[in-house]
Amino acid sequence: MEKGGQIEDSEILDRNKELRASSTKAQPRRVLRPLAPSTYLLRNLGKTAPLVGVIMLAVLLVAGIISMIDSIPYSIRTTYNYSQEMVGITPRGDPTQTQVILSDVRKNSPVPLERIVICRVSSTQIHSIVGKWPFYVLGLSPADMDFYLHRQHSTGITGRLPEVGKAECVVSDPVARNLALKIGSVVQGPDMDESWSPYRVKVVGIAHTDRWLIVNPIQYQRENHFPPIDLGMVFAKNLHDQNILDHWTEKHFKGKRAAVLAYFQIEKNTQDMFKTLFAILDVVIGTLVMVITFMMGMLMNIYQSQRLVEFGLLQAIGYTKKNLLMRVLREAVAVITLGWLFGVLLAFAMLNVVRATLMAPKAFGLDTLDPTAFRYTIPLPLTILLVATLTVFLRFRKFDPVGVVERRLV
């Protein structure tokens, strides 16, 4: 009997161990850590989700405003990015100086040259975000036109190249979208004051490239457009040398009878042009951050006031003020980080929708990953975290857990 009793006792002990082990495995992890910061946030989404939502919408607002404003200079740089491939030189109205200037470039260029192209230019206009903007029709010889289209990354043409001397032209995909052009459309004409030409210059080809360009025969330009001045476009042999050539050309011809058009000048002029606008924008965004931060500070204060009983009981059972402060700050960091991340993702999604529906149909430029826009959102969560930290610190500075437990504060 004794032996049988020992066997039964051991079986009961083994069974109890199995039951305890199985109950421990079945127990959710958050029950094992009921005081973890994530536990309160997940169990009280009705209180934490609005905080995350406010931060998310604030980030969306800041990133959206900056990206849309920054799209103006970005569109200008995109429109004239064909000049990255060359540097243009004009003899300041003196037709006798064109060959002199270009011979000087051939002789003294600091980098190997691939080609010097002679062209004529007439004006037209395109649509930009801020209204109509000047653009140029380049008159080129057939050989130079082939070279120019290839250098501007054209992968092919729908239609054909213009015939020598005819009132015909080739436009690129962005220009065709911007001006709603198709084969047979008119780019210049006698009844178009902003894009005047004595004959109706029709589109006979659309070049497939992301560069903005309009080209037609140089013979037509020479016969029908004035002043009768040939311009030069100088192409470096290696593209990475083009920037060196651009800066050298500007410095070399400074003060001489030659005007230089280079891409770095466009970038500099664009920055100078919108410097005041972005200074005003800094004030607007700064004010917005202050308003949102003040609002978030009040929300954080209300949010923490609703948890006084919880904090009093935790301190009564052994939590120190430092423990409570660190716990609340970890919660605040989690809420603010989630709000910022979701805000960035929402801003990226919104900007892609704006680009597809509003900007792309007119070939306007919009950088959906604009680093400037997202850098402007960083002060927002940092400022909110600072205000939240001060709010929590001041509340715990004179916190009385005994008063809470005795129901004097509720």
Q: What is the mean pLDDT of the chain?
A: 86
Q: Supply 200's token pair.
A: 């109706």
- Mean of the pLDDT values across residues 6-11? 55
pLDDT band at residue 146 under the 50/70/90 scheme: very high
Per-residue pLDDT, 12:
54
Phi-psi map region of 407: left, alpha, beta (phi>0 left; psi -120 to 50 alpha): left
For residues 69 and 285, give the distance between their C-alpha atoms in angstroms, rounded to a whole number: 12
- Mean of the pLDDT values across residues 202-213? 97
pLDDT band at residue 388 under the 50/70/90 scheme: confident
Of 347, 306, 405, 398, nearest to 50 by C-alpha is 306
| pLDDT-wise least confident of 61-75, 173-187, 223-237, 242-256 | 61-75
Q: Residue 29 pLDDT > 50, yes or no? A: no
Written in H, E and C, the secondary structure of the chain is: CHHHHHHHHHHHHHHHHHHHHHHHHHCCHHHHCCCCHHHHHHHCHHHHHHHHHHHHHHHHHHHHHHHHHHHHHHHHHHHCHHHHHCEEEECCCCHHHHHHHHHHHHHHCCCCEEEEEEEEEEEEEEEECCEEEEEEEEEECHHHHHHHHHHCCCCCEEECCCCCCCCEEEEEHHHHHHHCCCCCCEEEECCCHHHECCCCEEEEEEECCCCCCEEEEHHHHHHHCCCCCCEEEEEECCHHHHHHHHHHHHHHCCCCCCEEECHHHHHHHHHHHCHHHHHHHHHHHHHHHHHHHHHHHHHHHHHHHCCHHHHHHHHHCCCCHHHHHHHHHHHHHHHHHHHHHHHHHHHHHHHHHHHHHHHHHHCCCCCCCCHHHHHHCCHHHHHHHHHHHHHHHHHHHCCCHHHHHCCCCC
Sign of the Cα torsion 264, 265, 268, 270 reads negative
Share of the chain above pLDDT 70, in %: 86
- Contact in structure between 201 and 187 (CB atoms under 8 Å): yes
pTM of this prediction? 0.78
The answer to whether the peptide bond before residue 227 is cis (omega within 30 degrees of 0) is yes
Phi and psi torsions of 370, nearest 5°: -60, 110
For residues 193 and 174, give the distance between their C-alpha atoms in angstroms, rounded to a whole number: 23
Q: Using one digit for the tens of pLDDT, what is the confidence trace for 40-64?
A: 777 777 778 888 898 899 899 989 9
Q: Using one digit for the tens of pLDDT, what is the confidence trace for 362-385?
A: 999 999 999 989 988 888 888 888
Per-residue pLDDT, 27:
46
Angle at 162 between CA 156 and CA 166, to 5 degrees: 170
- Mean of the pLDDT values across residues 284-309? 76
- Contact in structure between 171 and 208 (CB atoms under 8 Å): no
pLDDT band at residue 9 under the 50/70/90 scheme: low
- Contact in structure between 367 and 70 (CB atoms under 8 Å): yes
Could you tell me which residue, 221 or 409, shows the higher pLDDT? 221
Of 251, 264, 304, 363, nearest to 47 by C-alpha is 304
> What is the torsion angle, in degrees rounded to the nearest 10, for the CA atoms of residue 93, residue 95, residue 99 and residue 102?
20
Written in H, E and C, the secondary structure of 181-208 is: CCCCCEEEECCCHHHECCCCEEEEEEEC
- Mean of the pLDDT values across residues 298-312? 72
Q: Residue 19 pLDDT > 60, yes or no? A: no
Q: Using one digit for the tens of pLDDT, what is the confidence trace for 244-287?
A: 999 999 999 999 999 999 999 999 988 888 888 888 888 888 88
**Which of 17-21, 166-170, 356-360 holds the top average pLDDT?**
166-170
